[in-house]
Amino acid sequence: MPKRCYSKILCCFVIALACKTASAQSATDSARYDAAINGVVNHFYQGVAEQSRLYNGYVYDSYDSSIKGSAYLDDIDAWRTGSVVYDGEDFENVSMIYDLYTDQLVVMLFNHASPIALVPEKVASFDLHDRHFIRINANNGGVKAGFYEQLYAGHSQAIKKVEKTLKSTSASTGRERFFVLVHEVPDYYIKKNGTYYKVTSQGTVLDVFPDKKKELKQYIKDKHIQFDGLFEQALSSVVSYYDSLTN
């Protein structure tokens, strides 16, 4: 049931309860009455939370503490507040964490004790650490299914993929396991006319737009755009400018 429907039901219930008890209410029992109403509201929303579409996923097990490094976005293991579009609904102020090793978005249940990995195919997008991520549900032009950070979104798109893997080594103290990046440099892609193109340099970016290569070269020169060291900003700027030329 959509959130707005729950709100209407709650409103009607509370009004009915208030009307029924208003005639019997005195000044001395006002505080008791308010406490009762608050109790009803809290109980109602607890029930709603238990039925929420958001809490529909898989039990998520934490990693063994002996594993070194972090499996999570930006190496931040703590829960952070974000938002997610899940199963067709928007959810705000959700405690979540993004596992780069399993490529899973994990949320904390309403009781703040049970982490749940959301069904990946039901996640349209999410925002975490002031960044926006989208879900690609099928392999497309060399891009595999998974979550991608969206650097620019227009008629064309620029996206980024960061992955982690689990490695192990033998040491005198025994076998050690640790999380590391799959690639030191993230994978970047441009989506143009429904097809994804992997890009690694200024040259490969310009090759995606042969119809406007001359104009883009001039734009890069005029704006002093540097791909070395500032690749993400340069990529987003060039793709955005291409869209402005063709739309």
Q: How far is the C-alpha of 71 from the C-alpha of 214, rounded, in Å? A: 42
Whether the CB-CB separation of 179 and 162 falls below 8 Å is answered with no
Tell me, yes or no, whether 87 and 183 share the same domain.
yes
In a domain, 190, yes or no: yes
Q: How far is the C-alpha of 212 from the C-alpha of 94, rounded, in Å? A: 42
| Domain-ending residue, one of 159, 178, 199 | 199
Tell me, yes or no, whether 36 and 71 share the same domain.
no
Residue 121 class from Cβ within 10 Å (0-12 exposed, 13-18 middle, 19+ buried)?
exposed
Q: pLDDT digit string (tens) for 68-122?
A: 999 999 999 999 999 999 999 999 999 999 999 999 999 987 666 789 999 999 9
Q: pLDDT digit string (tens) for 130-187?
A: 999 999 998 877 799 999 999 999 999 999 999 999 999 887 777 899 999 999 899 9
Tell me, yes or no, whether 85 and 158 share the same domain.
yes
List the structure tokens of 4.
Answer: 């707005």
Tell me, yes or no, whether 73 and 172 share the same domain.
yes
The total number of structural domains in the chain stands at: 2
Q: Among 134, 183, 184, 126, which residue's Cα sits nearest to residue 159?
A: 134
Tell me, yes or no, whether 78 and 180 share the same domain.
yes
Q: How far is the C-alpha of 241 from the C-alpha of 235, rounded, in Å? A: 10
Local structure of 210: helix, strand or coil: helix
In a domain, 222, yes or no: no
User: By residue range, what is the domain housing residue 122?
Assistant: 57-199
The one-letter amino acid code at 179 reads F
The one-letter amino acid code at 132 reads H
0.85 cut: is pTM over it?
no
In a domain, 208, yes or no: no
In a domain, 232, yes or no: no
Q: Name the percent of the chain in helix, strand, coil, to the closest 5.
A: 35, 35, 30
List the structure tokens of 40.
Answer: 């009803």
Tell me, yes or no, whether 87 and 170 share the same domain.
yes
Q: pLDDT digit string (tens) for 153-167?
A: 999 999 999 999 999
Q: How far is the C-alpha of 176 from the C-alpha of 163, rounded, in Å? A: 20
In a domain, 204, yes or no: no
Q: How far is the C-alpha of 122 from the C-alpha of 31, rounded, in Å? A: 44
Tell me, yes or no, whether 40 and 124 share the same domain.
no
Tell me, yes or no, whether 79 and 9 share the same domain.
no
Tell me, yes or no, whether 43 and 66 share the same domain.
no
